[in-house]
Amino acid sequence: MSEFYEQVKERFIRYVKVDTQSQAGSSTAPSTMKQKNLGRMLRDELISLGVTDAELTEEGLVYASIPSTMPDGTGLSIGFVAHMDTSPDADGTDVKPWVFEKYPGGDVMLNKEQNILMREDDYPTLRKYVGEDLVFTDGTTLLGGDDKAAVASIMTMAEFFCRHPEIPHGPIKLCFTPDEEIARSTENFSVERFGADLAYTMDGDALGGLVYETFNGAEAQLTIHGLSVHPGTAKGIMKNAVEIGGEFMAMLPALERPQFTEGREGYFHPFVFEGTVEKTYIRCLVRDHELDRYEERKAYVISCIEELNRRYGEGTVELKWDSIYYSMREVIKKVPFMIDYCKQAMKECGVEPFEIAMRGGTDGSWISQMGLPCPNITAGYENAHGRFEFVSIQAMAKNVEVLIRLLKLYAAHKE
């Protein structure tokens, strides 16, 4: 059993019991003040470990650093980022975690009273964890492994280095963010305050995953202006915004949608359509791994809007682009040793690394755009955002080993 097993287990179970669900549409920062409850817990825990600069900001970010133990305080400053909030997609209140020790395989009864059964055939990833100790919920809430599995691993790594100042390492920077699940976690993130030369986010499932390429992405927001009149006298007068929205939907390539694409294939994803004859609103994600194809997709949306305005009059359809991000690939390829060290650390800890061209973005995408190279290491949870989420304690403990080994490799780094 890993020396970090009990520490990471205790931390994770304690953290998931704190309700940190974020809320889309909120105008506050963080979007829910309850996220600060975990922020205060982490800040105080870091202070108790001897981290003197641990801080919880007004916007709900936790910053902290562990000074270099290298001669003259030298060494690259390496940062780690994880998010504290849980998804609004499933209930996150009153989480009741429990541990299934030495999972033997097969179905898992999560809640006998409510007959909530997790079937192995429905969740085949369970088969990868036979013999390991798995944390589940009672089937009525999500667990919060996304991303508290990462928070627990990073905090346990931090404790290790605080307890062992004799081990050489460069400056270690930590940041725990709110509101990642609603795409707002980096809006108040300060690269200057963080103070890292290089950084890694830690998020995602399946131990051993390494992400240094993501989609290029944006959200097209369409506002369609119609003209309502009584249907009985509508001829030649009515302009139905709902129908015009339907025409836009029909213009999008039918097979270039998320449900028909995989791997490096891009897509259009209309995910909000609401309105009336007078006004209709559409939100549509535009995604592609290749930058030129991404720009072509954006140009195609613009051409659709231009055609609809030609048909129905200038200003009928207004377009606004939001949530624009780019693949971190172009930034990361300038510092290839970040990936090499990560793979080496995993292999030396008995973890087989695998690369992921992520079909989405990460906080690392935004942070990389800010000028700080930031690939992603997966946190080891499974089935995020739902009531059948689970986490292997062994996976979290192994990630602690990987982070420690990674920092030891950086301690020997030559510019």
Q: What is the pLDDT of residue 110?
A: 98
Q: What is the pLDDT of residue 78?
A: 98
CB–CB of 306/299 below 8 Å? no
CA distance 90 to 8: 24
* 30-33: long-range contacts, CB 8 A cutoff, minimum separation 24: 30/59, 30/60, 30/85, 30/178, 30/179, 31/85, 31/178, 31/179, 31/182, 31/184, 32/85
- List 19, 45, 59, 85, catalytic entry: 85
- List 146, 180, 219, 389, catalytic entry: 180
CB–CB of 395/207 below 8 Å? yes
Q: Which domains does the chain have, with CATH numbers?
A: 5-214+328-411 (3.40.630.10), 216-325 (3.30.70.360)
CA distance 162 to 141: 34
Look up 401 and say whether it is catalytic: no
Q: What is the pLDDT of residue 325?
A: 85
Rounded to two decimals, what is the model's pTM? 0.89
Could you say which DSSP state residue 43 is in? H
CA distance 400 to 2: 10
First to last CA, the chain: 36
CA distance 378 to 150: 8
CB–CB of 88/144 below 8 Å? no
* Structure-block tokens of residue 78: 């390496």
Look up 85 and say whether it is catalytic: yes
CA distance 143 to 388: 8
CA distance 21 to 35: 7
Q: What is the pLDDT of residue 226?
A: 97
Q: What is the pLDDT of residue 198?
A: 98
- Provide block-wise average pLDDT over 10 residues at a time, the chain (415 residues): 93 98 94 98 98 97 97 91 95 97 98 97 97 98 97 98 96 97 91 97 95 92 97 95 98 96 95 97 96 97 98 97 88 95 98 90 88 96 96 98 98 83
